[in-house]
Amino acid sequence: MNAFRGVDFYRTDDLLSEEERMVRDTVREWVSEKAVPIMDKHFEEATFPMHLIPEMAALGVFGANLPEEYGCAGMNNVACGLVMQELERGDSGLRSFASVQGALVMFPIHAFGSDKQKRHWIPRLASGEKIGCFGLTEPDHGSDPGNMSTRAVKKGDRWILTGAKSWITNGTIADLAVVWAKHEGEVKGFLVEKGTKGFSAPEIKHKMSLRASITSQLIFDECAIPEENLLPKSEGLLSPLLCLNQARYGIAWGVLGAAMACYQAALEYSQSRIQFDKPIGGFQLVQDKLVYMLTEITKGQLLVHRLGRLKDQQQIDHSQTSLAKRNNTAIALETARLARDILGANGISLEFPIIRHMCNLEAVKTYEGTHDIHTLIVGQAITGLDAFR
Ligand code: TGC
Ligand code: FAD
C-alpha cells in the first residue's frame, strides 16, 4: 500500500488552521511509522501495544484538550478530533485507549475532582505513567446505566463499594478506575486504585472485535476506599453522561480515520486488480461502492468539523454529538464492509487493514451508546418525546 493520503475531496483542509494541520500531520506520520506496521500482529495476538503508550503521551494525545497546567496539550477540539481520526486510522484500539484515558478518566477528574486529585492524577495520566479505566456499564445494565446495581455505602471514613462492571476498556492494565456507583439512590464517581483489597479486574477474552485493546470486568467485593477518593463534584447520572459526550465526540472523528484507511486500500486495489482484462475499478458496480465511500466520508468530515467548531465555542448540545457518533460510525462500518467486498478473498486477510477495521467498527457501533440509543437521543431532542421506555 502507498503512504496514507487522507481524504480531502471537498478541500476541508482549507478549513483548518496551520496549527491544526500540523497536529494532524505529526500524529499521522507517527501512526504510519510506529503503529500501522504492528497493529495486525497485535490484533491477531489480542494484545495492546503497551510500548507505544509513552510515545502517545509525548505526542500529547491523552486529555489533549485539557489545560497545560496539568501537563496536557491544551489543544482546541478540532485538533483533538484530528488526533482521534489519525489514531483510529491505525486501529480503533489505539483511539479507544486515548478516548478512555482522556475523555473518560482525565476529564472526570478535571471536572468533578478535588484540587488534590487533579494535581495528583492528571499529570501522571497525561504522561502515560498511569493508565486509567472508566466503569459505568454493568453485566445487567448497558444502555440504561441509570438503573445500575453497584452500591457505595459510607462506613466511618471509608466508602465500601459492592457490585460489578463489565466490558471495561483497559480495566486489567489500569492503575486507576473511575467507578460510578449509587449512594442512597444518587450516582457518584469514585477513584479506585489497582491493588485495593476487594477489587479485581479479570480480562474478557475471545473477542472478535477490538482485539488490540484490553477489555475487562471490574469486581468490587466489599471494596473499601478512603473517603477522599470520592469525586466530590460528581452529582447524579449527568456526571458520567458528560464524560460520554467527550468520548462520543472523539469517536465521531476517529471512525473517519478507519473509514479513510479502508477507502484508500480499496481504491488502490481496484486500480491494480485485473479481472476480465481490465482493472476492477473500471467496472461501474465497483465505482458505485467507491463513490459511496468518498461521499459519506466527505459528509462525515463536514459534520465533525462543524461539531468541533461548535464545541470550541461551547455551543454544542449532546444530541448533536449523538447524531455525529451515530452517523459516522454507521458510514465507517458500511465503508469497511464495501471495501472488504472490493478486495474479494484478500478482503478477509489481515495482510490488508480492512477486515481488522471492519471487525473493530462492530464494537464501536455498540459502545458509547449503541446506534439505536443515539437514534432515541436525537429523536427525543427533535420531538420532545422519550422513546426509551
Ligand atoms: P433521560 O431521562 O433520557 O435523560 C436524563 C437527563 O439527562 C439528559 N441527557 C444528557 N445530558 C447531557 N449529556 C448527555 N449525553 C445526556 N443524555 C441525556 C436528558 O436530556 C435529560 O435531561 P432533562 O433535563 O430532561 O432531565 O435518561 P435515561 O435514564 O432514560 O437514560 C438514557 C441515557 C441517556 C442514559 C441513554 O440514552 C444512554 O446514553 N445510554 C448509553 C449508555 C452509554 O453510552 N454507555 C457508555 C459506557 S462507556 C463506554 O462505552 C466506553 S467505550 C470506550 C472506548 O473504548 O472507546
Ligand atoms: P444492551 O443495552 O443490552 O442493548 C442490547 C440491544 O438492545 C442493542 O441493540 C440496543 O440498541 C437495544 N436497546 C437497548 N435499550 C433499548 C431501547 N430503549 N430501545 C431500543 N433498543 C434498545 N462500558 C464502560 O462503562 N466502560 C468502557 O470502557 C467500555 N468499553 C467497552 C469496550 C468494548 C469493546 C465494548 C464492546 C463495550 C464497552 N463498554 C464499556 C460497554 C458499552 O458501553 C455497552 O456495551 C453499550 O452501552 C451497550 O450496552 P449492552 O452491551 O449492555 O447492550
Q: What is the pLDDT of residue 361?
A: 99
Question: Closest ligand 1 atom, CA of 99?
Answer: 56
Contacts 24+ apart (CB under 8 A), 277-282: 280/342
Q: How far is the CA of 112 from the centre of ligand 1 (A)?
A: 17
Q: Whose CA is nearest to atom 33 of ligand 1?
A: 144
Q: What is the structure's pLDDT at 88?
A: 98
- Report CA(373)–ligand 1 centroid distance (Å): 9
Q: What is the CA(274)–ligand 1 centre distance, in A?
A: 49
Compute the distance from residue 138 Cα to the ligand 1 centre, in Å: 15
Give the pLDDT of residue 245. Answer: 98
Q: What share of the chain has pLDDT > 70, as a percent? A: 100
Residue 1 has pLDDT above 90, yes or no: no
pLDDT band at 32 (very low <50, low <70, confident <90, very high): very high
* pTM passes above 0.75: yes
Question: Which one of the ligands is nearest to 370 CA?
Answer: 2
Mean pLDDT of 373-381: 98
Report percent pLDDT > 90 for the chain: 99
Ligand 2, atom 15, lies closest to the CA of: 143
What mean pLDDT, rounded, does the chain reach? 98
Nearest atom in ligand 2 to 169's CA: 28
pLDDT of residue 166: 98
Q: How far apart are CA 147 and CA 156, in angstroms?
A: 27
HEC-encoded secondary structure of the chain: CCCCCCCCCCCHHHHCCHHHHHHHHHHHHHHHHHHHHHHHHHHHHCCCCHHHHHHHHHCCCCCCCCCHHHCCCCCCHHHHHHHHHHHHHHCHHHHHHHHHHHHHHHHHHHHHCCHHHHHHHHHHHHCCCCCEEEECCECCECCCHHHCCCEEEEECCEEEEEEEEEEEECHHHCCEEEEEEEECCEEEEEEEECCCCCEECCECCCCCCCCCCCEEEEEEEEEEEEHHHECCCCCCCHHHHHHHHHHHHHHHHHHHHHHHHHHHHHHHHHHHCEECCEEHHHCHHHHHHHHHHHHHHHHHHHHHHHHHHHHHCCCCCHHHHHHHHHHHHHHHHHHHHHHHHHCHHHHHCCCCCHHHHHHHHHHHHHCCCCHHHHHHHHHHHHHCCCCCC
Pocket of ligand 1 (CB under 6 A): 96, 99-100, 134, 136-137, 143, 145-146, 169, 238, 241-242, 244-245, 247, 318, 367-369, 373, 377, 388
Ligand nearest to the CA of 251: 1
Evaluate if residue 373 carries a pLDDT over 80. yes
Q: Looking at ligand 1, which atom is closest to the CA of residue 367? A: 50
pLDDT band, residue 2 (cuts 50/70/90): confident
Q: What letter represents residue 312's amino acid?
A: D
What pLDDT is recorded for position 48? 98
Structure confidence at residue 223 (pLDDT):
98
The string of pLDDT tens digits covering residues 76-100 is 999 999 999 999 999 999 999 999 9
Distance between Cα 70 and ligand 2 center (Å) = 32
Q: Which atom of ligand 2 lies closest to the CA of 170? A: 28
pLDDT at residue 352 greater than cutoff 90 = yes
What are the chain's domains?
A: 12-126 (1.10.540.10), 132-229 (2.40.110.10), 238-383 (1.20.140.10)
Distance (Å) from CA 143 to ligand 2 centroid: 5
Q: Which residue has its alpha carbon closest to ligand 2 atom 49? A: 142
Q: Cell 441509570 belongs to which residue?
A: 146
Tell me the mean pLDDT in the region 321-347: 98
Gap between the Cα atoms of 226 and 159, Å rounded: 6
Mutate to test the pocket of ligand 2, among 370, 371, 388 (most ligand atoms within 8 A of CB): 370
Within 6 A (CB) of ligand 2 lie 100, 134-137, 142-143, 167-169, 210, 215, 363, 366-370, 372-373, 376, 388
pLDDT in tens, 185-223: 999 999 999 999 999 999 999 999 999 999 999 999 999
pLDDT value of residue 4:
93
- Cell (9 digits) for 360: 473493530
Residue 368 appears among annotated catalytic residues = yes
